[in-house]
Amino acid sequence: MILRDVTLIDGDEKWRGAIQYDPETGSITDVGDPSRDAEDEPVVSLPGRTVMPGLVDAHVHFSLSGEASVEDVVGMSDAELALVEARNARRTLEAGVTGVRAMGARDVDPELKRAVERGDVPGPRMVANCRSVTVTGGHGHHLGREIDGPWDARRAVREQLKRGADFVKFMTTGGVTTPGTEPDAVAVTDEELEAIVDEAHRRGVHAATHAHGAEGAKAAARAGVDTVEHGTFLDDEAIDLLLERDVTLVPTLSAPYHIVRNLDAATEESARKTRSVYERHIESFRAAVEAGVRVAGGTDAGTPFNAHGANAAEVAFMAEYGMTPLSAIRAMTETAAAAVGLEGSGTLEPGTHADLLVIDGDPAEDLTRLNDPAAVIKGGEVVAGALPDRE
């Protein structure tokens, strides 16, 4: 299959050309201006359109569906949770997100990942974990694994990997959505942090941490964490540490945006916490971008009012608050795929998955065009929208 006469966006480059992929193997075979004889191959011309890699969202919660209170989900059985997650995965894929890192709930996410890989349910390619590791009573404890002390922390990590987790997520600070925890307080001890990160790396998986406050981000960076989620109150020292330790920031600008716009419906506690963090979050992101911190796009989709399928808005937020449009696109394709370990995703390189978006017009000129792709292709198969008729 050849898509030609099209604008191609890959990394932070944009050019006119063509792309060829093999629907049988699901891989990209040539990029640029395929000159191979196309006699026995379908060709589609897409003048006025752009082809780019499918989005990769580095931070989603399929277990949550934008409820005002995360606690609504706690009472669900695993069966209910699995059905909800399958629906959210489908919505995400149809919106143009062909890869995600799913922050898990109980043991459902690795099962969902296997179901998607078998083709039983539609969804993006997934890197998934099980329970997040948190201190007793800490952020996310309802669906997480509570720990006390470094040996318990190691055991918690081992349990997650035994159950099929691809990475380890842990909570360094309190959170907006968990009552009784404060976003800028450091919840874990250095000994616990070191145990969690060391155990993850020993087993060859990456470690991601939820961290709002600067002290939490610093402690996690010192312990060797791979990605910092949110990074809401980063100061200069925290930014220097992220740079020095080669840590990727996943800013999740969508999360506070949606709560701030729904303060009337939010719980009183999450409204109070979000009001105080939103402006600071944007400043923190701007400063990190200016300093050159590596940023991967992630939405925190599923958190209050943050719907699955609205993921592309994160690209526009990153561009609004300091990145160029092409660097924001790169953050939510190539950089996100590399940060979460989704190999073969996020670029147009030959040999990688033919996970492609066909966009009307040029998204680099208008990022809102990403919200409604004309076609979503995963592994060489059109999974949403449609391509024009072949020539």
Q: Which residues bind Zn ion (CB under 5 A)?
A: 300
Assign 335 to helix, strand or coil.
helix
User: Residue 203 half-sphere exposure, CB side, CA atoms within 13 Å?
Assistant: 21
Quote the least distance from Cβ 82 to Zn ion, whole Å. Answer: 19
Quote the least distance from Cβ 18 to Zn ion, whole Å. Answer: 39
Strands annotated E in 240-361: 248-250, 356-360
Cα(304)–Cα(256) distance, rounded to whole angstroms? Answer: 9
Nearer to Zn ion, 104 or 363 (CB): 104
Nearer to Zn ion, 3 or 208 (CB): 208
Quote the least distance from Cβ 289 to Zn ion, whole Å. Answer: 20
Nearer to Zn ion, 20 or 209 (CB): 209
Element (H, E) at 7: strand 2-10
Do residues 22 and 1 touch, judged by C-beta distance below 8 A? Answer: yes
Quote the least distance from Cβ 60 to Zn ion, whole Å. Answer: 8
Nearer to Zn ion, 7 or 63 (CB): 63
Quote the least distance from Cβ 103 to Zn ion, whole Å. Answer: 5
SS (H, E, C) 234-248: CCHHHHHHHHHCCCE
Contacts of residue 272, defined as CB under 8 A and 6 or more positions apart, other chains included, come to none
Cα(15)–Cα(32) distance, rounded to whole angstroms? Answer: 8
Nearer to Zn ion, 281 or 369 (CB): 281
Nearer to Zn ion, 21 or 170 (CB): 170
Nearer to Zn ion, 103 or 377 (CB): 103
Quote the least distance from Cβ 61 to Zn ion, whole Å. Answer: 6
Bridge partner residues of 228 (DSSP): 209, 249
Distances (CA, A) of 204 to 79, 157, 166, 341: 30, 12, 9, 11
Quote the Cα angle for 390-19-5, to 5°.
65
Nearer to Zn ion, 12 or 269 (CB): 269
What residue has token string 């998934």? 128
User: Residue 93 half-sphere exposure, CB side, CA atoms within 13 Å?
Assistant: 22
Bridge partner residues of 56 (DSSP): 99
Nearer to Zn ion, 94 or 300 (CB): 300
Taking alpha carbons only, the member of 370, 380, 387 closest to residue 52 is 370
Residue nearest to Zn ion (CB): 300
Quote the least distance from Cβ 130 to Zn ion, whole Å. Answer: 15
Element (H, E) at 280: helix 268-291
Quote the least distance from Cβ 300 to Zn ion, whole Å. Answer: 4
Cα(340)–Cα(102) distance, rounded to whole angstroms? Answer: 10
Quote the least distance from Cβ 71 to Zn ion, whole Å. Answer: 15
